[in-house]
Every structure is written in structure tokens, then in C-alpha cells.
Amino acid sequence: MSAGQPLVSTRALSELKDEVARRTRENLMPVAGIRAEDAEQALAAIKSLERDAWAQAFAEVADRHLDRAHELEPSAPEGAREEFRHAWRLFNFARWPVENTPLKRYLYPRALAAFRNHGRLLDPPLEMVRIPFENEAIVGYLRLPHAPRPAPLVVGVSGLDSRKEDVMANAGACLSLGIGLFALDMPGTGEAPVALEPGAERMFSRALDYLARRPEVDAGRIVIQGRSWSGYWAAKLAHVERDRIRGAVVHGAPVH
């Protein structure tokens, strides 16, 4: 299917727009976290099922939040933080479920930038980590609670159409319990440096090597969490890294 062809759908445009609006109101995937009023603005501008029409409409609303974030940051960083978050949510849906057109490939880095700007204004702040790996880099996000030190850690892995930003957006649940979160894209998606292939778990092993050298992390209390397709990788690591992890959460893997 070419970039200009419409999405394959059994629903009329109006039905699909109504479903997206419903999911936004009920905070359901893939639009969880997007404000209903933002979705309404984007949906009002969409006139076809063509994928880039949807991407463009949501990106335009994201741009408005991005402009507002930059305006607010010098005087109201907390407000800017939330505007960056809204921009990320919208850019993230614009590139969803996969970056398979030139426009979506353009919007994905904008989603990353908005999220990272949001993250640097958090308390505790988001740390972007780059781990050298096979002439490339593993890109991850780390957030640690203020205490304890060293902190136990969950390594969260995104699914097929989610990204590590979606994982890290839920870090509050861990931090409130004194647990850190390290988020990665699963192989073959996002910024992962390896394809979805046999042996790709070596990427996670390298990440564990790195985390073991971080004095703020309790290397003896690391758990792997996988969701959807990445549940497979959590199960795999429960076997191949059984001496280095304390547990594995395999969430939804049988779906794939």
C-alpha cells in the first residue's frame, strides 16, 4: 500500500472519528492521555481516511501546544511541562501505529523532542541514556526516586506499536513506591538499534551491563516488565538473564 492510499477500514469516516472521540473521552488506547478537546479539534479537520490526513491534523494541534510550551517555559515551567506533554501525546498519535510515510517519519522525532522537553522539567527529572552497542547506541530513559539509594528498578519495554515514551509516561506508579524505571523500545521499533530477529535479546543484556555500573541502581533488585509483544522479551530474559534479574512481568505476550 502506498503512502497516498487510504487506510483499509470497514468503517465509514464518521464512524471511525466517533470511535476515536469515544476512546479519547474514556482514556483508552491508542489515544489515552489526549485531551478530548484536542481530539475534537483534530478530528474536525480530517476529511478522509488517508493516513497522512490524520497525522497532519493531530500534528497541527500538537504544534499549538508546542508553541505555548516555549512561551511559558521562562516564567511558568510547570505549565510548560504540561504543554510539552500534550504536544508529545498528539505527535505520538500522529506517528501511530508505525512510521510508514514520510510525514510520519518526520513527526516521530518531533514526538521524541516534545517528550524529552517534558521530561527535563519533571521532578525527579528524566535522564536520557545512550549505551554504546555494536557501532550504534541503545537509547533509553531513566527516572529514579529521590530515595532510597541504591534504588530497585523496573526495566520497562514497549510493545509493537507503543514506544518507550509511553512506558516512561507511567513512571509515577514506580517512583511513588521508591522504585526507579528504565524504559526501552523493543527490538525492531522506535530507536532500538537491532531488528526483530533471533538473538535480539543481547540488546537488553547490554543494558543490564550498563545498569550494573550505575551506583544509584540496586543491580540485585532489577525486574523486567514486558507488555504486549514485548512480553516475549520479558519471558526470554527470565531465562537468559535469570542470574541477573529478580523477576519478569509477562503482560499480554500470548496475544502475539
pLDDT in tens, 130-180: 999 999 999 999 999 999 999 999 999 999 999 999 999 999 999 999 999
From 75, 102, 120, the end of a domain falls on: 120
Q: Are residues 220 and 194 in the same domain?
A: yes
Can you state the angle between helices 51-72 and 77-95, rounded to 10 degrees?
A: 170
Residue 210 CB coordination number (10 Å): 18
In a domain, 102, yes or no: yes
Both 21 and 81 in a single domain? yes
Domain extent, residue 61, equals 13-120
Same domain, 52 and 164: no
Which tens digits make up the pLDDT trace of 194-216?
999 999 999 999 999 999 999 99
Same domain? 100 vs 173: no
Residue at 216 is within a domain: yes
Domain finish residue from 95, 120, 145: 120
Helices (H), the chain: 13-25, 36-45, 51-72, 77-95, 102-120, 164-168, 172-175, 202-212, 230-240
Tell me the C-alpha distance between 55 and 148, whole Å. Answer: 42
Q: Which of 138, 184, 154, 141 is nearest to 249 (CA)?
A: 154
Question: How far is residue 22's CA from residue 81's CA, in Å, rounded to a whole number?
Answer: 26
Question: Domains in the chain: how many in total?
Answer: 2
What are the φ/ψ torsions at residue 111 (nearest 5 degrees)?
-65, -45
pLDDT at 243 over 70: yes
What does the pLDDT look like over 23-78, one tens digit per residue?
A: 999 999 999 999 999 999 999 999 999 999 999 999 999 999 999 999 999 999 99
Is residue 195 one of the residues assigned to a domain? yes
CATH number of the domain to which 195 belongs = 3.40.50.1820
Q: What are the Cα distances from residue 148, in Å, to 9, 144, 151, 175, 207?
A: 50, 9, 5, 10, 22
Q: Which residues contact 2 (CB under 8 A, 6 or more apart)?
A: none
Question: 251 and 131: one domain?
Answer: yes
- pTM confidence score: 0.93
Which of 102, 120, 138 is the C-terminal boundary of a domain? 120
